[in-house]
Amino acid sequence: MYLPPDDDEQTPAVLRYSHRGFMQGGGRVPGLGKVEVILVDFNQDGQFTLDRDRWALAPAGDRETLYDPRSGRAMSRHNWIEDKAFKAVSLTADGRELRIAPTTTEHTREEEQRLDDPYHADKQEPHSGPSVKFLHDFEKAEKMAKKKGKILLVDFETTWCGPCAMMDKYVYSADKLVAAAKDYVCVKVDGDIRKDLKKRFVVTRYPTLILLDPHGEEIGRRVGYQSVAGLSEWFARTGKAD
């Protein structure tokens, strides 16, 4: 890392930051043959450690598994080669040498994937077809909520927001949520486009869900991915507009 001195007018005032933050290599495991591993300097401190960084493991040539997000996990946790678990025993700071050893686990690989999946419960909810109906014009939705005396659900999202996409796929399409939202006027707002509304409602993360009463007063807010159960309970607890 290099920061130019304040009195050096000939050097551009920039920060240069460079190190190997991602490494991929291979080795051999007795009885299993060649394997590949990915190391990620997760906290970007310039060195690899067993307590702060992440890794992925797969049979040699199995790039689909190696690059699967579910294969990446903390170095302090065991990882898998097919159905066998291995733990990281030692790792050099430059990431060039990693030693692994077999270990025992409480769950199978398939069971762990289900337990580690934050969307698992929502995937199991009934999805019969319809989804929550969202408007995409805030002013129109605001007038509709006021006219009908209904609560307005404002969902701030962006096109690049992963959790937003997951809510569209698993939450807003769940039968329970469709039923829970039927008495609300719902509108989606792209925070990258409607920066005026982003500023007005002080939105700093996505998704941000805000409930407004028919008079436009905020009566509830949730930030981040919301589950079917959590969102349904929130709607029920917030109640209907007078």
Residues recognised as catalytic? 161, 164
Q: Distance between CA atoms of 43 and 21, rounded to whole angstroms?
A: 9
Sign, Cα dihedral of 192, 197, 200, 203? negative
Chain Cα centroid distance, residue 140 = 31
Evaluate whether 126 touches 174 at the Cβ level (below 8 Å). yes
Q: Is the dihedral of CA 29, 32, 36, 39 positive or negative?
A: negative
Rounded Cα distance between 90 and 81, Å, is 18
Alpha carbons within 13 A on the beta-carbon side of 135: 16
